Amino acid sequence: MRVVVGQGSCGVATGARKTSAEFERLIAEAGLDVTVEKTGCIGNCYLEPIVDVYDGDKLLSRYVQIQPEKAADIVERHLKGGEVVSEYAISEADERFLTGQRRIVLRNAGVINPESIEAYMATGGYKAIEKALKEMSPEDVIAEMKVSGLRGRGGAGFPTWFKWDAARKNRGDMKYIVCNADEGDPGAFMDRAVLEGDPHSMLEGMIIGGYAMGASEGVIYVRAEYPLAIHRLELAIDQAREKGFLGNDLFGSGFSFDIRIKAGAGAFVCGEETALIASLEGERGMPRLKPPFPAEKGFWQKPTNINNVESFANVPWIILNGGEAFGAIGTAQSKGTKVFALAGKIKKGGLVEVPMGLPLRDVIYGIGDGIKNDKAFKAVQMGGPSGGCIPASLIDTPVDYENITKTGAIVGSGGMIVMDETTCMVDMARYFLDFTRKESCGKCAYCRVGTKRMLEILERITAGEGQDGDIELLVELAEKIKDGSMCGLGQTAPNPVLTTIRYFRDEYEDHIYRKKCTAHSCKPLLTFTITEDCKGCTLCAKNCPTDAISGERRELHVIDQEKCIKCGKCEESCKFAAILRD
């Protein structure tokens, strides 16, 4: 028997290491022939720590939210007595979170031990590179990628085969292949989960890509805020070298290839490929004009190909199963699957992998089980700060590159931040613009100054100081920033503002002309009043930090609006729902 404890970042954050240690202690004390192993995140982040009990490769039971104090019950009743501890077992509703998915990139995540190359090889790992080197020419590999229709999963959706082919055709005494693991979108954690849960799949994809384009060195540019991912990548690279999957003369083919890691400082702009290259070279992460493109002159002015983690993790599956098998999934223009990070006001947040073309409704309500507290769905932000907000009226939009782009958002790297009726869309636009303004490298005046001016307007509007003409000025500035910025960060920075104006213009007008936030979110526009339901318990007065509430015990209390700082402490403390937020 095996006890497998989910130890991705989400599991570790909820105490999975302590849970694992407790199982090890109890099993050792009982003298049971049971091993305790680790795995990555299987996707149900909201249920961590997750503990699976296996008999060989057969999953017997999955237990959720297992803190150390629950381990004894599982050891006594299940490992010793053979009884499923039903009160800790995953529910049928939560199982549907996984059964509604189609997993290619996440095929091993939450299943195998990410720190064991043998576990990866047992699933067919490194068979794809062996097949490519022994049975296929570099041109054959590129042709197979073309048939698959795989498009870059980092945001732009550019055909992967085309980038590989361009790099192959450019001559150079040295070529590089780079993995962009600089996952900087707020609410996005897809790449992190792959690196923590199945690092070898990404490494194998890089090796195949290196063979296809004729590169001899690979570099993984990963943000330093991912220490667990870096640790497991380092282990995986060392293990791959020991097994002969990295190094000289792989499989006796004459092809040599090795990989190293570069930890980035966490600059969002370094997700743009030319800024990433500048950072790799030891320079400040700032974009460069294109052309020349990296395929011609990239890292150290040598032909370079850059793809993200998810793109590379698809490659071994495609080579083993064929491009046609991958191309049969999804839509005509957007083939295969896509990994998304479900976050925000969603009941079941976590990682999902679905076929391209699945409607947003099926992702949010079918897999994510709908909105927390059954509130009304309002919008979903896709593509992070470079994307846009898709309103509830478009919830049946298919999730593919073409249809999502039509809404004004982008698929991006795969972040999905779900919003309910309590979300202020003006404030949401302000939040994302504040992020991109801070992350701007400052090279372009349009981006450096333009985003600052837009942010100032949004801050005025959310503070109740909006003016007539602000909406039109925001649109004018947005269009000029899009046209005048050099790189994708500046060109897409206004998208959250433009989409919220497009779909939620009435909220902007309410803020500017009525001085009201209909979502009751923007503090300067709130008014707290005490209704006739007040019982005079004095709790609100005791909790008010500015002594703005007065009244005798068992009598109706009153809020002095000049003293009120809109903190909401009165509303939180009231047991009779007598505080009205307007």
Residue 575: CB atoms within 10 A of its CB come to 9
Structure tokens of 494? 């206004």
Per-residue pLDDT tens, the chain, 582 aa: give them: 999 999 999 999 999 999 999 999 999 999 999 999 999 999 999 999 999 999 999 999 999 999 999 999 999 999 999 999 999 999 998 999 998 899 999 999 999 999 999 999 999 999 999 999 999 999 999 999 999 999 999 877 889 999 999 999 999 899 999 999 998 888 889 999 999 999 999 999 999 999 999 999 999 999 999 999 999 999 999 999 999 999 999 999 999 999 999 999 888 999 899 999 999 999 999 999 899 999 999 999 999 999 999 999 999 999 999 999 999 999 999 999 999 999 999 999 999 999 999 999 999 999 999 999 999 999 999 988 889 999 999 999 999 999 999 999 999 888 899 999 999 999 999 999 999 999 999 999 999 999 999 999 999 999 999 999 999 999 999 999 999 999 988 999 999 999 999 999 999 999 999 999 999 999 899 999 999 999 999 999 999 999 999 999 999 999 999 999 988 999 999 999 999 988
DSSP 398-424: B-SHHHHHHTT---TTSEEEEEETT--
DSSP-based three-state secondary structure for 209: helix
Walk me through the domains of the chain, giving residue ranges and CATH numbers.
2-90 (3.40.30.10), 117-327 (3.40.50.11540), 337-420 (3.10.20.600), 425-514 (1.20.1440.230), 526-581 (3.30.70.20)
Query: Alpha-carbon torsion 17, 19, 25, 28, what sign?
Result: negative
Helices (H) and strands (E) in the chain, counts: 23, 17
Residue 384 identity (one-letter amino acid): G
245: closest CA among 124, 138, 125, 112? 125
Cβ(495)–Cβ(488) under 8 Å? Answer: no
What is the spatial distance between Cα 270 and Cα 224, in angstroms, rounded to a whole number? 13
DSSP-based three-state secondary structure for 74: helix
Residue 508 identity (one-letter amino acid): Y
222: closest CA among 142, 88, 312, 147? 312
Q: Which ranges of 297-388 does DSSP label H, i.e. alpha helix?
A: 309-321, 323-327, 360-361
What is the spatial distance between Cα 161 and Cα 318, in angstroms, rounded to a whole number? 12
Structure tokens of 80? 């010793």
- pLDDT of 488 reads 87
| 529-532 contacts, C-beta under 8 A, 24 or more apart | 529/559, 529/579, 529/580, 529/582, 530/556, 530/557, 530/558, 530/559, 530/570, 530/578, 530/579, 530/580, 531/578, 531/579, 531/580, 532/556, 532/578
DSSP-based three-state secondary structure for 575: coil
- pLDDT of 184 reads 84
Cβ(185)–Cβ(200) under 8 Å? Answer: no
